[in-house]
Chain A
Amino acid sequence: MLFRPNPSSGVPIYLQLMEQVKHSIETGALRPGEQLPGIRPLAEELVINPNTVAKAYRELEHEGVIELRHGAGAFVAGNAGAKKLTEKFRAGQAIVAAAVERLRARGVTDEEIRRLFEAELAGLAKAPKTGGHGA
């Protein structure tokens, strides 16, 4: 398992860690019921604040992605939470693959595709078109 938050990216480290745990579940690197590293060892390994790891785990538990068992540690949720993540990811992957294929067919380069995705996520997701009947 490879968690590698970047402390100087400007994105809260606990959010990065949450994303990376979710991604590990989505890709199957972490399976339902499997144990995550303890707060202390993970903080030591990544050399980040233990409170930050604890916060990420608390939020993930709140979202139903992991379970915190007293004294035993953190585990990937065995229930729908984790499975839904994987399914959602697989379905999304198919849509993205199709879109990327069409863009490439039109001669759009990978770099341009990446920028298109980033612009879409950064701008429009936070600023949904008013009127709602747009393209």
Chain B
Amino acid sequence: MRDALVVEAVDLRKNYDGVEAVRGLNLEVPAGSIFGFLGRNGAGKTTTIKVMLGMARPTGGRVHVFGLPADSPDASVDIRRRSGFVSEDKDLYDYMDVDEMIRLTSAFYPRWRADLAQRYLRVFELPSNRKVKALSRGMRTKLALLLALCRGAELLILDEPTSGLDPAVTEEVLQALVTHVASEEMTVFFSSHQIAEVDQIADRIAIIDRGRTVVTGPLDDLRENFQRIQLVFNGDAPEPAFRSPGIVRVRRQGRVLTMLSNAGAESILEEARAFNPVSIDVVPVTLKEIFLETVAGAED
């Protein structure tokens, strides 16, 4: 176990009443990263987070957080003490006002950062005396984020932090995360199905589909390795018989042959030249395309 990994999941499995929510999931989250955990609704993101926090027991495989086994009750207490968690429901007490909510939370955490709480209260423009139940969705999110950021956590786990937020509030939330990571020693793990925000702030990602990791790694490497290659021929495109590694998909339409590669374009281009195409185009593949190419289609 390398100590530079804040979260490590190996072949994680979790069944609920015979349904496999997670079935062989692998994760490596290095310290100091902003890790985007992408997947469609129901792909197993929330289940994985629950296992990481000891809120659900894995059926198989293992998860370590800070090098501690997440399925051990003792270790799990320690994991939760050192992590900040914002659930999708933003668990807050509706009958309290913003100030009371902050005071209550601060009492539980000896490393509470009152200076940061003041700052985020100002930056987020949160009304101190308003009842939680009267807060807008955006304000609820910002309050939950404030409570998580200020407890001096080493790991911040956010489950769909920006779901249902307008673009302006989304940008505020992302900016707070970027700023926080830049100034404090911390790792952020956030689940999302918003590809744009993962593109923007994550440096590492995992795409999961139906409980399995389908793509993972540094986002820059994925952007460099995934390439679309389009060849145009004078006559009909030849039957594809490429031996180069990394060809994910081939489409042949008349004189046009299009290939998706996850291992760069170099070796494919070398092979392609033997077929004498009249034009060769290499186009970068966006994270959105990678996502759509690697997860199962919406129709099933």
Q: Give me the interface of A with B, judged by CB distance under 8 Å.
A: 7-15, 39-40, 43-44, 47-52, 55, 119, 122-124, 126-127, 130
Contacts of B33 in A (CB 8 A): 51
User: At the interface, yes or no: B19 with Cβ under 8 Å from chain A?
Assistant: no
Contacts of B183 in A (CB 8 A): 40
B128 to chain A, nearest CB (A): 25
A119 touches B281 (CB 8 A): yes
Task: List B176-234 residues whose CB lies under 8 Å from chain A.
Answer: 178-179, 181-183, 195-196, 199-203, 219-220, 223-224, 226
User: At the interface, yes or no: B116 with Cβ under 8 Å from chain A?
Assistant: no
Contact among B182, B269, B280 for A40, CB-based, below 8 A? B182
Q: Mark B8-37, 1 if CB is under 8 A from A, else 0.
A: 000000000000000000000000111000
CB-nearest residue of chain A relative to B173?
A47
B286 touches A8 (CB 8 A): yes
Ordered by A's residue number, 12 sampled pairs between the chains whose C-beta atoms are within 8 Å are A7-B196, A8-B195, A8-B286, A10-B223, A10-B283, A49-B201, A51-B32, A55-B220, A126-B280, A127-B272, A127-B273, A127-B280
A39 touches B196 (CB 8 A): no
A123 touches B280 (CB 8 A): yes
B262 to chain A, nearest CB (A): 13
Contacts of A10 in B (CB 8 A): 223, 226, 283-287, 289
| In the complex with contacts A10-B286, A126-B282, A50-B178 CB distance below 8 A | yes
B157 to chain A, nearest CB (A): 17
Contacts of A9 in B (CB 8 A): 284, 286
B269 touches A127 (CB 8 A): yes
Told that A49-B178, A49-B202 touch, could you supply 8 new A-B pairs with CB distance under 8 A?
Answer: A8-B195, A10-B283, A40-B182, A50-B178, A50-B182, A51-B32, A123-B280, A127-B272
Q: How large is the interface on B (under 10, 10 to 19, 20 to 34, 35 or more residues)?
A: 35 or more
Contacts of B282 in A (CB 8 A): 122-123, 126
**A55 to B218 alpha-carbon distance, docked (Å):** 12
User: At the interface, yes or no: B163 with Cβ under 8 Å from chain A?
Assistant: no
Contact among B181, B223, B287 for A50, CB-based, below 8 A? B181
Inter-chain contact total with CB atoms closer than 8 Å: 86
CB-nearest residue of chain B relative to A13?
B220
Interface-centre pick from B219, B269, B283 (highest chain A CB count, 10 A): B219
**A51 to B218 alpha-carbon distance, docked (Å):** 11
**A52 to B200 alpha-carbon distance, docked (Å):** 10
Main secondary structure of the interface of A (DSSP, over half): helix
B210 to chain A, nearest CB (A): 25
Contact among B182, B280, B287 for A44, CB-based, below 8 A? B182
Contacts of A7 in B (CB 8 A): 196, 199-200
Contacts of A8 in B (CB 8 A): 195-196, 199-200, 286-288
B201 touches A47 (CB 8 A): yes
Contacts of B269 in A (CB 8 A): 126-127
CB-nearest residue of chain B relative to A40?
B182
A52 to chain B, nearest CB (A): 6
Contacts of B171 in A (CB 8 A): 47
**A8 to B282 alpha-carbon distance, docked (Å):** 17
CB-nearest residue of chain A relative to B280?
A123
Contacts of A49 in B (CB 8 A): 34, 178, 181, 201-203
User: At the interface, yes or no: B175 with Cβ under 8 Å from chain A?
Assistant: yes
B273 touches A130 (CB 8 A): yes
B264 to chain A, nearest CB (A): 10
**A124 to B182 alpha-carbon distance, docked (Å):** 41
**A9 to B283 alpha-carbon distance, docked (Å):** 10
**A51 to B203 alpha-carbon distance, docked (Å):** 7
Contacts of A122 in B (CB 8 A): 280-283
B198 to chain A, nearest CB (A): 9
**A44 to B284 alpha-carbon distance, docked (Å):** 26
Q: Which 7 A-B pairs have the closest CB atoms?
A: A10-B284, A123-B280, A10-B286, A12-B220, A50-B182, A7-B199, A7-B200
B269 to chain A, nearest CB (A): 5
**A124 to B286 alpha-carbon distance, docked (Å):** 22
User: At the interface, yes or no: B174 with Cβ under 8 Å from chain A?
Assistant: yes
